[in-house]
Structure formats: structure tokens, C-alpha cells
């Protein structure tokens, strides 16, 4: 049936019968949402997070296009068919937003149980939509009527509200146990997705309802609901640039080029005279060509950096092999398997052995830092007694501490210190902090403490060293960072120790931080959850 009082649209949705503002607002937002969704997906097709973001972008685009069709099309069959999917779009968006945030926070896919809950929540919408969502069409007003049964009205709005609360609770729970860097990411992502969900569900439905009961003159305010996706995209953009979320390496450069092209291209909408059109066209072409070259250069640079990192890793592995073989040979010579050697030669062999051992350690440190950076480190989590490890490492370092004349003490509160984690890596954390304290403290005292909290253990190492300068405090856990004070004492430091320690602690779902005062010393704290490693 045709709405006989309205003009026929071109290409399903273009007609002079609606305000032009409708196209200027809906179409660019849809294009931006689709572009960013596709861009993120293509940056890393295998990432579930990226796929979910694409799915949300596509759903949002379907929503805007369907609203445009409902506003402009005059064929009842087409309008009803498109309108029919509104409930599904709302429901799926709500569920995918929860799924998206879960994957973002937990860095893993949802469990089967959770997916079954998602599908169960969606089932009523999928089952009832084709039969009960829409009853009829008014061809005079060109509008569906009785299109929302009470069930649908309540159900999909309830799903939206559920999504808001669910997402909020997930964000808060994770925020409380995360370290500073991830807290910032959670805040950004949370603001973006909650703004989107609020505007998409609450704003659109509330303004529509208020216009229906006559509290608002019309439902035009409903249109502002679509800007939620833009807020979401802006926050996603900040996350991509600042935190490399979504693994979009050339995002900054590409966005710059895209924005420039969009800006220049938009001039075509209000340029009417031929000379201006020619100038705009030439500017657009030149910007496009320069932009493509810029993106290629950035991409080449990133690829070159990645290739260098891979080559370095390969060479490091080879060097470790050589060190290990030589160390093995020297060890055999020292233990007398090749026969008796002179005391001078034995001394030289022992010196060489020590040197080889240090070399292996350096290479191992470098490889570990690379694994942490690339996220390929594997933790073998098993329950073990952290108290025994702390006591053992404290005792191991006692001779060094005594040699420097420190007051060297340990305090362990009563309680069970069995935690779930990778014993080898966590031993390294314990050992590294004591080693640093001894290494960088000239005189005074070192105190190692271990205490029990409700769901975690707190390990700390306090020294009476020179403290950390304000400038160094900002970059203390950065890769290759050499503190001004530490460099004076140990010029050969790799600058990887605390970077690795932080990587291991965070990999176990823990937190690391420090408190420092110039001239009085520094205390490093490590809080580890009893439940243990998040990454396997």
C-alpha cells in the first residue's frame, strides 16, 4: 500500500518531503560509525574485541538507516519490514555492549554459560518479532500503528537498562582491582559506552514516550539519541591513540587524513560556483595523494620497527644458545671432568663462567621484556606458599646486605600465604625488589614485609636510600627507563627490571606501586590476589 499523501522517495529513502537536516545528521553519523567499525576490524581481524565493535557499529548503522526509511518511504510493506527489526536491533545492541565490555575488561571470551544467558535474553525478541511486533499501517499518516505491544515496550527497554547496569557493575568491579594504567582505560571506555547506551536506550525511548503523552510537542528530540555513538567513537579513538587498544597501529595518521578529506569534501555541499568547485577538487586530490603517502610512510616505519624487534629477538635467542653451550663447557671443566687444571687456569675458568652466567641472565631479561611487551608470556599457575619464597629470598640476600652493613629485617604477619600463580615468575618479583633495595641503598636499613588481606597478600620492600626523583617517578615502570639516581650507582643497568616485575604482577591480576621521599627512601608494594593469574 502506498501512503497516497506523500511523495515517492528515490533509492528507498531520498525525498523532498522531510527536513534536509535529517540527512545531514543521520547519514554522516552512520558513515563515521561504519568507517570506524570497519577500520578497527581490519586492523586486527582475529581480535574478538574488534569484531564485537564492528557488530555494534553495523547494528547502529542499521538502526539509523531503518529510521531514515521509516521517515521517508511510502510503501507500507517496506516500512513495516524495516520497522519490524527495531526490537531486534535494540536487544542485540544491549547484549553486544555487555559482551564487548566483558571482553575488553577480562581480555578473554565470555564463558559458554554467559553466552547461553545472552541468547536466552534475546530469545523472546527473536521468537515474537515476526508475529507480534507490528499489527498494521496507517497509509494516511504513513505510520505503523499498534506497533509496540506492551511486552515489547517493556522488554527491550528493560534489556537496555539491564545492559547499562550490567556494564556499570563490570566496570566498577574491574576498576577497583586494576592498576593505574588500566583504570584510565576503564574510565574512558566506561564513559564512552555508558553515554552511548544512555542516549541510545533511555533518551530515545523517553523522548518518544514524552511526545506520545503530549509532554513534548514532537519526537524530534529523539534524534539526538544517535549522537551517543559519536561520543563512544571519540572515547574509542582516545583509547586507540593513547593505549593502543584494538591494535590499530596507524590510526592517528589515518584519522588525520580521513578528517582532512572529510573537511575538504564537505565544502562541496555549499560551493556553487565553478572556480570554487575546481579549487576544492584540486585541494581534495592533492590532500588525498599526500595523505596516502603519509599513511604508507607511517606503516613502513611501524613495519620496520616490528621487523627490527623480531630480528633482535632471533639474534638474542641465538646468543643465549651460544652462552648456554659455553657455560656448560666451562662448568664441566671446572668440576674436573676434563682432568686437573692449574690453579691459575681454574681461576680464569671461574671468571669466564661467572661472565657467561651474567650474560645468560642479561639475555633472559631482554627476552622476558619482549614476551611481556608482546603479551606472549605464559604463566603456569599453581598454588604455592609465598611466605616460604619471601623467607628464602630474604635469606639468600642476607650476606650482601650484611656486607654493606645494613639493618636488614623481615616482618611476616600471621596468616595463610598460599596463592595461585606462577612460582618461578613471582619468585623473580620477590627477588628483584630486594636486590634493587640492596643495590641502590648506600647505608641504613632494608625492611621486607608480608601481610595478609581479605582476598590478597601485600608484599613490600622498604629501603632508606636516596629516594626517586619526581621526574623518574612518572616513568619508573617504563621499558629501558634508567632513573637518575640509580644510574649514578649502577651505570650498566638494563632498565628492564621493574618493567618485567610490573608485567608479571599485572599478569597475575595484581598491583604494584611505590611511595618515596627524597633523602628518606622508597617502599615498593606488590599486592597479589590469592586467586592468582588472569592469563594462562
Partner 1 sequence: MENKDTKHNTHFFLYVILLSLIIVSTISCYRFFIKHDYMVSYNGFCDPAVEKCFVNYEDDTDETSKYYSKMEKYAPDLYKECGSDITNCKDASVCVPGDLNCSKAYCDNSAGDICSAPPPPIFIDNNATSTKK
Q: State whether residue 273 is helix, strand or coil.
A: coil
SS3 percent helix, strand, coil of the chain, rounded to 5, is 65, 10, 25
Of the pair 68, 80, the CB lying nearest partner 1 is at 80
Euclidean distance between CA atoms 473 and 484, whole angstroms? 10
To the nearest whole angstrom, how small is the minimum distance from the Cβ of residue 156 to partner 1? 14
Helix 274-334 to helix 251-265 angle (10° resolution) is: 180
Contact 464, 521 (CB under 8 A): yes
Q: Say if CB 243 and CB 185 are below 8 A apart.
A: yes
> In whole angstroms, how close is the CB of 85 to partner 1 at the nearest point?
8
- Is the Cβ of residue 1 or residue 285 nearer to partner 1 in the bound state? 1
In whole angstroms, how close is the CB of 54 to partner 1 at the nearest point?
12
Distance from C-alpha of 444 to C-alpha of 520, rounded to nearest angstrom: 10
SS3 143: strand
| Closer residue to partner 1 in complex, CB, 77/181 | 77
Nearer to partner 1 among residue 14 and residue 81 (C-beta): 81
DSSP code, position 146: S
DSSP class per residue in 303-336: HHHHHHHHHHHHHHHHHHHHHHHHHHHHHHHHTT
Instruction: Give min distance, CB of 57 to partner 1, in A.
Output: 16
Q: Tell me whether residue 40 or residue 496 sits nearer to partner 1 (CB atom).
A: 40
Which residue's CB is nearer to partner 1, number 134 or number 230? 134
C-alpha 222/C-alpha 417 separation (Å) is: 56
Tell me the CA distances in angstroms from 163 to 123, 170, 225, 428, one per residue in order: 16, 10, 16, 41
Question: Taking the complex as a whole, how short is the minimal distance between the CB of residue 217 and partner 1, in angstroms?
Answer: 16
Q: Which is nearer to partner 1, 86 or 441 (CB)?
A: 86
Q: Which of 152, 134, 142 is nearest to 90 (CA)?
A: 152
**How far apart, in Å, are the Cα atoms of 43 and each of 38, 262, 368?**
9, 21, 26
Nearer to partner 1 by C-beta: 130 or 321? 130
Select 123 or 315, whichever has its Cβ closest to partner 1.
123
| Least distance CB 111 / partner 1 (angstroms) | 8
Minimum CB–partner distance for residue 424 and partner 1 (Å): 22
Q: Are strands 418-421 and 382-385 parallel, antiparallel or unpaired?
A: antiparallel
3-class secondary-structure state, position 527: strand
Q: Which residues contact 316 (CB under 8 A, 6 or more apart)?
A: 363, 366, 367, 370
Nearer to partner 1, 112 or 337 (CB): 112
End-to-end CA distance of the chain: 60
Contact residues for partner 1, defined by CB under 8 A: 1-2, 4, 47-49, 75-77, 80-81, 84-85, 88, 92, 103, 107-109, 112, 115, 118-119, 122, 126, 129-131, 134-140, 145, 375, 536
> In angstroms, what is the minimal distance from the CB of 248 to partner 1?
14
The Cα 332–Cα 336 span in angstroms is 7
55: three-class secondary structure by DSSP: helix
Nearer to partner 1, 137 or 408 (CB): 137
Least distance CB 41 / partner 1 (angstroms): 14
Q: How far is the CB of 59 from partner 1 (least distance, A)?
A: 11
Shortest distance, position 1 Cβ to partner 1, whole Å: 5
Amino acid at each position: 500500500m502506498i501512503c497516497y499523501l506523500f511523495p515517492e522517495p528515490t533509492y528507498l529513502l531520498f525525498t523532498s518531503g522531510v527536513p534536509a537536516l535529517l540527512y545531514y545528521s543521520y547519514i554522516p553519523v552512520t558513515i563515521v560509525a561504519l568507517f570506524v567499525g570497519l577500520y578497527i576490524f581490519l586492523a586486527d581481524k582475529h581480535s574478538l574485541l574488534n569484531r564485537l565493535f564492528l557488530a555494534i557499529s553495523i547494528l547502529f548503522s542499521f538502526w539509523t538507516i531503518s529510521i531514515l526509511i521509516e521517515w521517508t518511504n511510502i510503501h507500507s510493506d517496506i516500512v513495516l519490514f524495516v520497522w519490524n527489526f527495531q526490537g531486534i536491533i535494540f536487544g542485540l545492541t544491549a547484549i553486544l555492549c555487555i559482551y564487548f565490555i566483558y571482553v575488553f575488561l577480562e581480555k578473554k571470551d565470555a564463558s559458554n554459560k554467559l553466552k547461553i544467558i545472552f541468547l536466552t535474553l534475546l530469545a523472546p525478541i527473536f521468537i515474537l518479532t515476526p508475529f507480534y511486533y507490528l499489527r498494521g499501517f496507517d497509509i494516511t499518516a504513513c505510520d505503523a500503528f499498534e506497533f509496540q505491544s506492551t511486552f515489547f515496550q517493556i522488554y527491550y527497554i528493560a534489556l537496555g537498562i539491564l545492559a547499562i547496569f550490567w556494564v556499570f557493575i563490570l566496570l566498577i568491579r574491574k576498576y577497583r582491582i586494576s592498576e593505574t594504567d588500566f583504570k584510565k582505560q576503564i574510565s574512558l571506555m566506561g564513559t564512552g559506552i555508558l553515554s552511548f547506551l544512555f542516549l541510545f536506550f533511555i533518551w530515545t525511548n523517553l523522548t518518544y514516550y514524552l511526545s506520545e503523552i503530549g509532554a513534548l510537542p514532537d519526537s524530534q528530540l529523539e534524534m539526538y539519541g544517535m549522537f551517543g555513538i559519536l561520543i563512544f567513537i571519540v572515547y574509542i579513538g582516545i583509547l586507540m591513540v593513547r593505549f593502543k587498544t584494538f591494535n590499530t597501529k596507524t590510526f592517528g595518521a589515518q584519522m588525520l587524513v580521513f578528517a582532512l578529506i572529510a573537511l575538504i569534501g564537505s565544502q562541496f555541499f555549499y560551493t556553487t560556483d565553478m572556480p570554487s568547485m575546481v579549487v576544492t577538487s584540486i585541494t581534495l586530490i592533492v590532500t588525498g595523494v599526500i595523505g596516502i603517502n603519509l599513511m604508507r610512510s607511517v606503516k613502513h616505519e611501524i613495519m620496520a620497527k616490528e621487523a627490527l624487534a623480531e630480528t633482535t629477538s632471533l639474534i638474542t635467542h641465538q646468543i643465549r644458545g651460544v652462552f648456554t653451550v659455553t657455560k656448560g663447557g666451562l662448568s664441566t671443566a671446572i668440576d674436573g671432568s676434563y682432568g686437573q687444571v692449574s690453579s691459575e687456569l681454574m681461576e680464569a675458568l671461574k671468571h669466564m663462567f661467572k661472565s657467561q652466567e651474567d650474560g645468560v641472565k642479561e639475555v633472559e631479561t631482554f627476552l622476558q621484556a619482549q614476551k611481556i611487551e608482546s603479551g606472549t608470556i605464559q604463566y603456569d599457575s599453581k598454588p604455592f606458599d609465598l611466605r616460604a619464597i619471601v623467607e628464602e629470598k630474604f635469606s639468600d640476600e642476607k650476606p650482601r646486605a650484611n656486607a654493606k652493613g645494613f639493618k636488614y629485617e623481615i616482618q611476616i604477619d600471621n596468616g595463610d600465604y598460599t596463592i595461585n600463580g606462577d612460582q618461578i615468575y613471582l619468585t623473580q618479583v620477590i627477588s628483584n625488589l630486594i636486590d634493587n633495595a640492596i643495590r641502590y641503598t648506600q647505608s641504613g636499613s632494608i625492611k621486607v614485609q608480608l601481610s595478609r588481606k581479605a582476598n590478597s597478600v601485600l608484599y613490600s620492600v622498604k629501603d632508606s636510600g636516596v629516594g626517586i626523583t619526581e621526574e623518574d617517578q612518572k616513568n619508573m615502570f617504563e621499558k629501558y627507563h634508567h632513573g637518575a639516581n640509580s644510574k649514578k650507582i649502577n651505570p650498566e643497568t638494563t632498565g628492564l627490571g621493574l618493567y618485567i616485575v610490573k608485567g608479571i604482577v599485572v599478569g597475575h591480576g595484581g598491583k604494584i606501586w611505590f611511595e618515596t621521599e627524597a633523602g628518606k627512601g622508597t617502599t615498593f608494594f606488590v599486592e597479589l590476589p590469592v586467586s592468582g593469574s588472569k592469563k594462562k
